[in-house]
Structures are given as structure tokens and as C-alpha cells.
Chains A and B, each alone.
Chain A
Amino acid sequence: MDANDLVASVRHSGEVAIVDLVGQLDGTAEKTLASAWDATGDAPVVALNFSESTYINSTGIALIVGLLGRARSAGRTVRAFGLMDHYREIFDITRLSDFMEIHGDEAGAVDGLAANV
């Protein structure tokens, strides 16, 4: 395993499953991300924590699109928080932010308040 490979862990806060993403999010993180998604169980809201995610590329974007697709078909909500400004820009350019709420911090993501700050 590369020192920069993504490590994903899941914790719960009420009905929100928080997925902490540490490391770089690229195509190599597919299995890690899929396992983390499975570990969120049937929590109606999943919050992706990007505050320790150092690098996201187009193949990482594709993985997030895959998660969003699964959430959409299951009627679940996906939120994101802790994004660097640059990746926030990318989420806007790719229109990901049209399909997931972007929050500044964990509290906002858990409460679902002040979305798209």
C-alpha cells in the first residue's frame, strides 16, 4: 500500500453516517470507497469528510459520481464537507455540487444547515 493511498473510516452521528477520507482520492481508491459505503449501512444521510483528502483527480471524481448514483437510486442523501477551495471549484465545474450539499464543516453537514457555503 502506498503511503498516500486513501484510508476511509465510517462513524455515525445520529442518522448521519460520516465517512472520513484521508489521503488521495483517485481510481485506486475504488475498493476502499466501496467498503466504506457499505459500512454506512442504511443511514439516510452520508457525509463525506474531505478535510484530510489531499488530492482528488478525475478518476476520484468518477468514484464520487458512482457513489452519488448509488445514493440516488436508494433515495439517500450525500453531503460533503471540508473541501479545499480548489476542489470546491472542481465540484462546481463538474456540477457535483448540484447533486450533493457542500458544507463548510462537520456540524453543518450533520445538521444539514447552511448548505453550499
Chain B
Amino acid sequence: MSARAGVLRRFIGRRGTQIRTSAETAPARRDMEVAPVDIAPNDPILAYFQGATGAVDLESLHLESPARDALLEAGVRIVVPLITQGELVGLLNLGPRLSEQDYSADDRKLLDALAGQAAPAVRVAQLVRQQESQARERERVEQELRVAQLIQQQFLPRELPDLHGWHVAAYYRPAREVGGDFYDFIELPEGKIGIVVGDVTDKGVPAALVMATTHSLLRAEAPRLVSPSKVLERINDLLVDDMPPKMFVTCLYAVLDPATGTLQFANAGHNLPYVGSEGDTLELRATGMPLGLLPDMSYEEKSATLRPGDSMLMHSDGLAEAHSPDKEMFGFPRLMELVGEGHGGEALIDHLLKSLDAFVGAEWEQEDDITLVTLQCSSGFVSQTGAMESDDDNRVLMDLQLPSEPGNERQALKKVAEAVQELALPPAQLERVKTATAEATMNAIEHGNHNDPRVPVGVRALIEGNDLVVRITDAGGEDILARPDAPDLEAKLDGRQKPRGWGLFLIESMVDEMDVASDGATRTVELTFHLKGDANGR
């Protein structure tokens, strides 16, 4: 058989998909490929080919079909449907014979036989190509997941903050299709700490990139603005113009003053944090729109006080919105109940995860990232100073944690001076309190904590009966300070002694009593100043 350059150029897709085909036809265009012919999925010619028992002569086919007209226009005269296992997988298109005679019965038989053998081969080729394409797509998706995970992990804190009197724990488990969860701890002025938990809508690399941007903006703006509502307002303004369509960020931002347990917080559409306190669970509510949705948003700012024993949970959707095999949701009420059961820190996280495992069963595929951050105020943490068992009967005026950096004694001085203002101390005594506090803090920073900013100095002022007591705690352990002799000024002036060494002598000269205590790990210098009246007003 000699067909006039009739060749199958393109195999045809599955039923219901658009079919494209082409043919080389007419002598004048013998070496030219014509443009592929598209066959629409609803073209009746497809049903015809599907039911045909052999080669189809297009010119004698009377059918309202755009594809028929297009094929004829392209020079096709005979179409041999390629059918395997009842499925049309392609078309063999032939133009007129070179002899310009009609196709004979033998020709058609030959074509039918050829089609019978070609169809399964075409189907196999289609399947191979389809599998290759799926493998490439899987690899692309896996690669994207790896990139998203990498970005995500880069921005998670490498260590938890070490806050005296507080237990901080965090847990993050990404879903297979990494979501946009993040959390962070940001050091702020005056020993405060910013705590962030957020969630970017969407998944994969786009979510991870928005997460990274939000994280960086928070790190830059939080120490400058401090106020949670101002920080969220600013981040929203910075994000809103460049946020990809249909994406936004929910974010809870809280600022903890570890010295007082005061928590200021603002919420940009994130899950409410829960506080477990004495068997109950409280929600910390503050309203605000998610970040990046609308410009010029304002955020409500609230405050709460975490007392010894209280435990706070900040969390993303992954836990509360997990589903059991019966499609029941874990739910927020269940989560609240668990928080109220008295666990704190890592124990609370373990408790929640065990409950989740029991709820979702072994076959569960995690639906979304899970992020949990817990913050617990240690009960009776004050006694860790070793200087006292309890301050229950005393009135605490201030409590402060300072990084051990030279010069920070001035902060202690300032804070103590502010705190004792209500006592209306005589000016000379106030100055003595300030000097003794500054000297003892300086001593703790330099000698107790060796100027290591990661090790805090604790400064606490309280009223004990008729005394003002200032306690300065460092990591000096059992190294109890020796009682100083009066420095020998003559020897210092003559160069027989170094000019330094005045600190303890000054402290002792400023206070009514000075005691030093240690619990083996920490050392506390207790400065006592007798007050003339009763400072509690009794």
C-alpha cells in the first residue's frame, strides 16, 4: 500500500480529552507537516470512531462534525481508529493514495491489521509517558516540600529562653505538606520577652516564604515598639502591600515581664491562648484581623497576670482541628479541658500529644502543622534564691531579672528607686538604698555571673515588717562572700594595694544589715534597711 504521506503524527488521549492530530497530505505539501487538528471532547466523531469496526472513509461519512471538516481540510481521506481494550487511544490518518486510486479492500484489511497491532503499542507508550510525567511531578513536589521544610526550620528558635522562675517549652511538628506555622521568642528591653505563635494560610514554599518574612519583620520591630498591639499594627502595614493573593497570617503576640508575671498580648486572628489556673481554663481574648489582609488595622491590647502554678498554652490549628477516623474534630473545648488538668511546661505538651494520639489513632495522617508553646510560672520560684522559703507574709515591691552585662546595675538602681518611691524614704536613706543595690548588682554581674549576659541577676525588693529588703541573686553558688575589712587607703595611695576593692565595703556601709545565703547553685545577697515607720501602714 502506498498512501500519500498519510502518517499518524500524534496519538490521541483518553476519551473525554481533547484530541489533536495531523497529517501530511497533498503532493504539493508532501514534505510539510500541517498544523495539528484539534478534536473537541464532545465532537460526535469520537463516538463514531469508538464504534467503528475498521478504516473510516471521511468523504463518505455524513456527520455534523467540526473535526471531520478540519481533517478533510488537512487532506485526510481515511482514518483508522486505534482501539485497545475498548478504548480509543489514537487515530491513523491517511491522505489520498499516491496513485490517486481509491483504497482497495486489501489496503483496508492491511490497515485494520496494522491498527490492531499498533493500538496496544500506542497505549503502552502513552502509559510510559504518563508515568514518567507523574514521577517528575512527584519529584517536583517532594523537592518543594524539602525546600519548605528547610525554610521553616531555619526560622524556628534553636533554643528556648531561660527565664528565672519560668518554665518554657515548645513543640513543632510539620504536616507532610508543610504549613506555615511559626513561633519565636524575642528578647526585649528591661528583661521582658516577646512570645509569638503564628500561622500562614496556604502550604509549601509560598507559605514558608511569607512565614520567613513575617518572622523577620517581627524580630526587627518588636524590640523597638514593644507594645503588642503596636507591633501587630506595624507588621500588618508592612505586609499588606506585598502579600500574595488569598494569603494572610494569623498571629498571637504576647510580651511577658518575667519579674511580675504580667502578660500583655494582642491577637491577629489567631487561636486564643489558654491559661490553666487552679483547675480552670481561661481564654485570653483580644480581637484583631489577620495580618496582611487589610491596611490600617488596629489591634486590641489586653493584659493578664500569670501567677505561680499557672500554665499558658499558645497553639496553632493542627491540634484542635485534627480529625479522628470517624471524622470527629479534636476541638477547642477538649483542648481547654486538657489545659485545665494542671499540667504545665513539657508535661502539658506530652499530655496533649498523648490525648491527640489516642483520639486520631495509629493510621492518622497529620492534616496541618502542630505548634504548641507553653509557659509556666513555677510555683514558689522565689525560694530558688535560697535566701527565703516564702514571701507570703511580705509585700513584694519589685522583681527584676537583668542580663549580666556591665552597666546593668544602673537599671537595678533605677527600678528599685522607682519601687520604693511609695515609702517616701528620707533622701539620704534613698541614696544609700540606691548605692547598695547598684554595688551588690555590679558584684553579682561581675563576680557571680562573670559578665555572662545569658545568666540573669535577680533583683527583688520587698517589705518585711519594718524593713525594706533588697535581694540580689546570682549564680555564684556556694561561694559565700568574705566580710570585707575597711580598705587600706594609705596602701592604695602608695601603690601597695590596687585602687579597687571598695564594693562590699561600700555596701556594708550603706545598709543596716547584710546577709549572704546560698542553695548551692545560686547566691543571694540580702540588704536590709530599717524603716522608721511601718511601711505597710499598720
Distance A90 CA – B436 CA, assembled complex (angstroms): 11
Task: Give the segment of A14-22, A42-50, A61-69 that binds chain B.
Answer: A61-69
B347-390 vs A, Cβ < 8 Å mask (1 yes, 0 no): 00000000000000000000000000000000000000000000
A98–B489 touching, CB < 8 Å: yes
A70-103 vs B, Cβ < 8 Å mask (1 yes, 0 no): 0010000000000011100110011110110000
Contacts of A55 in B (CB 8 A): 410
Task: Give the segment of B249-257, B284-292, B493-501 that binds chain A.
Answer: B493-501
B387-429 vs A, Cβ < 8 Å mask (1 yes, 0 no): 0000000000000000000110110000000000000000110
B502–A62 touching, CB < 8 Å: yes
A66–B499 touching, CB < 8 Å: yes
Contacts of B505 in A (CB 8 A): 94
DSSP majority for the B interface? helix
B493-515 vs A, Cβ < 8 Å mask (1 yes, 0 no): 11100111111011001000000
Instruction: Point out the residue from A58, A68, A93 that lies within 8 Å of B442, measured CB to CB.
Output: A58
Contacts of A69 in B (CB 8 A): 492-495, 499
Instruction: Tell me, yes or no, whether B97 is within 8 Å of chain A by CB.
Output: no
Closest chain A residue to B442 by CB distance?
A57
Contacts of B317 in A (CB 8 A): none
B407–A94 touching, CB < 8 Å: no
A65–B489 touching, CB < 8 Å: yes
Instruction: Point out the residue from A24, A58, A86, A99 that lies within 8 Å of B489, measured CB to CB.
Output: A99
Instruction: Tell me, yes or no, whether B275 is within 8 Å of chain A by CB.
Output: no
Distance A84 CA – B509 CA, assembled complex (angstroms): 17
Instruction: Tell me, yes or no, whether B67 is within 8 Å of chain A by CB.
Output: no
Contacts of B493 in A (CB 8 A): 65, 68-69, 72, 99
Instruction: Point out the residue from B439, B487, B494, B498 that lies within 8 Å of A94, measured CB to CB.
Output: B487
Instruction: Point out the residue from A57, A89, A93 that lies within 8 Å of B428, measured CB to CB.
Output: A89
Closest chain B residue to A4 by CB distance?
B410
Closest chain B residue to A68 by CB distance?
B493
B506–A58 touching, CB < 8 Å: yes
A106 to chain B, nearest CB (A): 23
Contacts of A85 in B (CB 8 A): 427-428, 431
Distance A59 CA – B435 CA, assembled complex (angstroms): 12
Distance A24 CA – B442 CA, assembled complex (angstroms): 15
Closest chain B residue to A71 by CB distance?
B493
Closest chain A residue to B493 by CB distance?
A69
Instruction: Tell me, yes or no, whether A13 is within 8 Å of chain B by CB.
Output: no
Give the interface size bracket for B toward A: 20 to 34
A86–B428 touching, CB < 8 Å: yes
Instruction: Tell me, yes or no, whether B432 is within 8 Å of chain A by CB.
Output: yes
Distance A95 CA – B509 CA, assembled complex (angstroms): 12
Instruction: Tell me, yes or no, whether B205 is within 8 Å of chain A by CB.
Output: no
A94–B502 touching, CB < 8 Å: yes
Distance A36 CA – B196 CA, assembled complex (angstroms): 49
Instruction: Tell me, yes or no, whether B438 is within 8 Å of chain A by CB.
Output: yes
A46 to chain B, nearest CB (A): 15
Distance A61 CA – B499 CA, assembled complex (angstroms): 8
Known interface pairs A28-B407, A58-B502, A90-B435. Does A95 touch B489 (Cβ–Cβ under 8 Å)?
yes
Distance A98 CA – B492 CA, assembled complex (angstroms): 14
Instruction: Tell me, yes or no, whether A38 is within 8 Å of chain B by CB.
Output: no
Closest chain B residue to A65 by CB distance?
B499
B500–A62 touching, CB < 8 Å: yes
B487–A59 touching, CB < 8 Å: no
Distance A28 CA – B408 CA, assembled complex (angstroms): 13
Instruction: Point out the residue from B439, B494, B499 that lies within 8 Å of A62, measured CB to CB.
Output: B499
A58–B439 touching, CB < 8 Å: yes
Distance A69 CA – B406 CA, assembled complex (angstroms): 26
Instruction: Point out the residue from B438, B495, B506 that lies within 8 Å of A93, measured CB to CB.
Output: B506
Distance A66 CA – B506 CA, assembled complex (angstroms): 18
B509 to chain A, nearest CB (A): 5
B499–A86 touching, CB < 8 Å: no
B407–A65 touching, CB < 8 Å: no
B438–A57 touching, CB < 8 Å: yes
Contacts of A4 in B (CB 8 A): 410
Closest chain B residue to A5 by CB distance?
B407
Closest chain B residue to A85 by CB distance?
B428
B518 to chain A, nearest CB (A): 23
Interface residues of A (CB under 8 A from B): 2, 4, 24, 26-28, 55, 57-59, 61-63, 65-66, 68-69, 72, 84-86, 89-90, 93-96, 98-99
List 28 A–B pairs whose Cβ atoms lie within 8 Å, in order of A's numbering: A24-B410, A57-B435, A58-B439, A59-B442, A59-B500, A61-B506, A62-B499, A62-B500, A62-B501, A65-B489, A65-B492, A65-B499, A68-B493, A69-B492, A69-B495, A69-B499, A85-B427, A85-B428, A86-B428, A90-B506, A93-B506, A93-B509, A94-B487, A94-B502, A94-B505, A95-B489, A96-B489, A99-B493
With A85-B431, A95-B489, A99-B489 known, 10 other A-B pairs at CB within 8 A are A57-B439, A57-B442, A58-B439, A62-B501, A66-B499, A69-B493, A69-B494, A86-B432, A90-B509, A93-B506
